[in-house]
Structure 1
Amino acid sequence: MTQAFEHLTTERLRLRAVHASDVEAVFALHGDPETNRYTVSGHMRSLDAAKTQLAVWLGDWSDRGLGYWVVERIDDPGVLVGFGGLRHKVLEGQQVLNLAYRFAPKAWGSGYATELARASLALAREHLPETPVVAVIHPENEASIRVATRLGMRLDRIIDYEGVPSRLYVPA
C-alpha cells in the first residue's frame, strides 16, 4: 500500500492516521452516548475499551497501510472533530472497504462527513479499485443516509449487521 492514505488534506480538513496517543480522543468521541446513538454496541464505557479499539485501528495501519483517520479542521489544528475513512473488513464473506465517519456533535451539519467520505472514495478508486466500498448504515441514521446519497451511493440491500437490520450502500 502506498503512503497515500496516511496523511491527506481536503478543502477544510486535515486527515491523518491514528496514533497511540489518540486514546483519550477515541474515548471522548466514542464514549458520548449522543455521538453513538446508532451504534449497535452503544457508546464506549471505559478507557480500556478505547485502548482496545485503538489497537485494532493501529493494527489496520500497521498490517494494511490503511485505516480510519483522525479528522481535524485545517483552521483549528490539533483539535479533533471526528474519526473516519476506510478500513478493510470481511462482510458476508467478502473483502470490502468499510466507509465510516463519526463526528463530535459540534461538527454536525458542517458537511465534514461528506468531505471526508468523498476523499475516501477517491483514494479507494485510485489505489484499490478491485475492492468494493460499502457503507453500513443504521436505518434510522438519516444524516448518514443523506451523506451516502450525496456521494452518489445507492442502497444495495438490507443486511443483518451485528444483529441489527442495516442498510448497505454501495457506489452507484
Structure 2
Amino acid sequence: MAHWEQHGFGQWAIATLHEPEKVIGFGGVAFRKYIEDERLNLGYRFAPEAWGMGYATEVGRAALRCAFDQHGQSDAYAIVRPINAQSIRVLEKLPMKRIGSLDDVPGEPMSLLYWAGNQHPVS
C-alpha cells in the first residue's frame, strides 16, 4: 500500500471476469532492489490452476503500458530464474529483451535479467 501511495501504481490482485471474488494471482510493476540498484520491476505470480491461460502475458502488457503511458516511466525490468521456461516465454512475448544476468540467489544459477523501455513497443 505504501508503494501505491508514494508512486500511484504497484501490484494488482488478479481475478477473472467469471469469478471476480476469487484471486488467481498478483502482478504489476513496483520499484525493487536489484542487488544495490532500485529499478522498476515487472512481476507476476499465479496459482497453478491459472498457468498456461495467458494471464501473465495479459498482466505484463497492462502493467508495462500503465507504467509507460500513465506514469511516465522510461524503463522496466524483470528477473526470472533460468529454469522457469514459461515465464521466459511470457517476457519475450511482451516483448522484453534479455540484457544480462543477476547473481541474486546465493548458490544458485544466476537469474536472467530482462528490460523494456517506453520507446520499445509493448505488443
TM norm. shorter chain > 0.5? yes
Q: TM-score range by the shorter chain?
A: 0.7 to 0.9
Counterpart position of 1:86: 29
Q: Give the aligned partner of residue 86 of structure 2.
A: 143
Distance in 2 separating the partners of 1:141 and 1:148 = 11
Tell me what 1:160 maps to. Answer: 103
| 1:5-154 paired onto structure 2 within 5 Å | 58-154=1-97
Identity across the alignment (%):
37
CA contact (8 A) 1:97 1:131 kept: no
CA contact under 8 A between 2:26 and 2:46: conserved in structure 1?
yes
1:112 is displaced (CA, Å) by 0.3
Paired residue secondary structure (2:14): strand
1:160/1:166 contact within 8 Å kept: yes
Amino acid corresponding to residue 34 of structure 2 in structure 1:
L
Deviation at 1:156, TM superposition (A): 0.3
Contact preservation (8 Å) 2:35, 2:104: no
Comparing 132-141 with 85-94, which one deviates more in the overlay? 85-94
**Structure 2 vs 1, CA of residues 117 and 97 (structure 1 numbering), >3 Å: closer, same or farther?**
same
Pairwise CA distance, 1:80: 0.6
Q: Report the TM-score, using the length of structure 2 for normalisation.
A: 0.84
The runs of 5 or more residues in structure 2 that have no matched partner are none
- CA shift, 1:96, in A, is 1.7
Q: Distance in 2 between matches of 1:148 and 1:103?
A: 15
TM-score normalised over the length of structure 1: 0.62
**Higher Cα Rg, which structure:** 1
Residue 76 of structure 1 aligns to a residue whose secondary structure is coil
Structure with greater helix share of residues = 1
* Equivalent AA in structure 2 for residue 97 of structure 1: L
The answer for unaligned runs of 5 or more in structure 1 is 1-57
